[in-house]
Amino acid sequence: MSASTIPTAPSARPAIAAGTPEFRRSNRALFFGGFATFALLYCVQPLMPLLSREFALTPAQSSGALSIATAALAVSLLLTSAVSDRLGRKPLMVAALAVAALMTLLCAFARSYPQLLLMRAALGLALGGMPAIAMAYLAEEIEAPSLGLSMGLYISGSAFGGMAGRVLVAVLSDIWSWRAALALMGVLGLCAAVEFWRSLPRSKNFVASADGWRALPAGLRRHLGDAGLPSLFLLAFLLMGCFVSMYNYIAYRLLAAPFKLSQSTVGAIALLYLIGIVSAVWAGRLVDRLGRRGVLWMLLSAMLAGLLLTLADSLPVIIAGMALFTFGFFAAHSVASSWVGRRARAPQALASALYLFFYYLGSSAVGSLSGLLWARDGWSGVVAALAAGLGLALLIALRLRNLAPLGPRAPALAVP
């Protein structure tokens, strides 16, 4: 590659420092972005039993409304990362949120389950322009000592969106219908997109890649050949697969005997996401002080302990187990995703995209597999599979404790 094709690194522009107006604006914008992404993506989760009844579906088939969106999102992430490295971060993120909100509005008018799946797939493709690019934006623009906090705030926004989306559609579907619930979520998503566009500072340290799509193969080789990133990618697959499976099928268990809870009550369990909001920020601050190696394995152990508690026949014990599981998940995701942001070299958006590709692929693959296990062995079968996945995740975290750190990050360059 000739010197003329190497972009000039914007070294004269300092990173956004904690306590500045730009720091508050970027955190507010990314909080809204995380909120909208998770609210729009996962708002169908508490509706799965209703979709099963309306369209005569099995639980595994009903999970397709979520799985098809996460699968489309996983594929889209890799494509939009290359576009983002050429065109910039903010425009694609704004467009992603707006289109996803419009697709959610259209889902409210679906006349058949295939139509619903088609629009959910389009939503997933659109949202590919948000999560990985948001992680890359934070890694590029936020000063290193404050990155853990900013990533934690972004993920806490995701937790709040996931909670609000699930609770709101569950309550509205009891009062009116699931269609009215999705229509309102679409409107809220559009409002969040406007606030995101208004608040997010423009990129100062982004360096466009002149190679565009040609950078993908070399970038894939670079990230997959790293000593630590593939382990973090596999960890993302296991983390999200286990988390989505828990919330997908616990609803079926609690709606049935001996609990027989209402749809609104089951949906209200998503209030446990409030714990995730706290744990993501707490983990970010803890990592900024103590490092990731000594924290991650403990969070995964907490997830495993919480999962096993859900085998109890006591509703309070089940809720306590889900709370511990949720606390561990959001904290662990905050730690792992910020680790990718600090370890990855150019193209950074692709590294974030690979992390989230495996993250959402786990949601789709493990979520669907857990539905088959639910049909065959009930909740005990789901728990056995998820415990095996978390056991593997724990082994990965223990291995990462011995990972040699990289040196200071060099200025971002176009990939040859």
Strand partners, 16: 142
Q: Look-up: residue for tokens 């286990």?
A: 242
Burial class (CB in 10 A: 0-12, 13-18, 19+), 342: middle
Question: Between 64-87 and 348-400, two packed helices, what is the crossing angle to 10 degrees?
Answer: 120
**Collapsing DSSP states into helix, strand and coil, what is residue 229?**
helix
Residues 141-191: pLDDT tens digits?
888 778 877 877 887 788 788 788 888 998 898 889 999 999 999 999 999
- Spell out the domains of the chain, with CATH numbers in brackets: 20-200+213-400 (1.20.1250.20)
DSSP for residue 16: B
Residues 70-81: pLDDT tens digits?
899 888 877 786
Best CA proximity match to 123, nearest among 133, 115, 111: 115
Best CA proximity match to 246, nearest among 296, 200, 306, 172: 306
Best CA proximity match to 400, nearest among 293, 284, 287: 293
Q: CA-CA distance, 172 to 179, in Å (whole number)?
A: 9
Q: CA-CA distance, 110 to 411, in Å (whole number)?
A: 48
* Predicted pLDDT of residue 142: 87
Burial class (CB in 10 A: 0-12, 13-18, 19+), 113: middle
Residues 334-361: pLDDT tens digits?
889 888 877 877 767 678 778 888 988 9
Residue 42 pLDDT > 50: yes
Report, as an integer, the average pLDDT of 33-37: 90
Average pLDDT, the chain: 85
- Measuring CA to CA, how many Å separate 318 from each of 27, 165, 222, 390? 34, 22, 43, 18
* Predicted pLDDT of residue 257: 86
Output phi, psi for 16, to 5 deg.
-70, 125
Buried b (16+ CB within 10 A) or exposed e, 6-32: eeeeeeeeebbeeeeebbeebbbbbbb
Q: CA-CA distance, 214 to 137, in Å (whole number)?
A: 21
Residue 401, both tokens: 């404790």
Residue 34, both tokens: 């995380």
Element (H, E) at 320: helix 315-343
Q: CA-CA distance, 391 to 104, in Å (whole number)?
A: 36
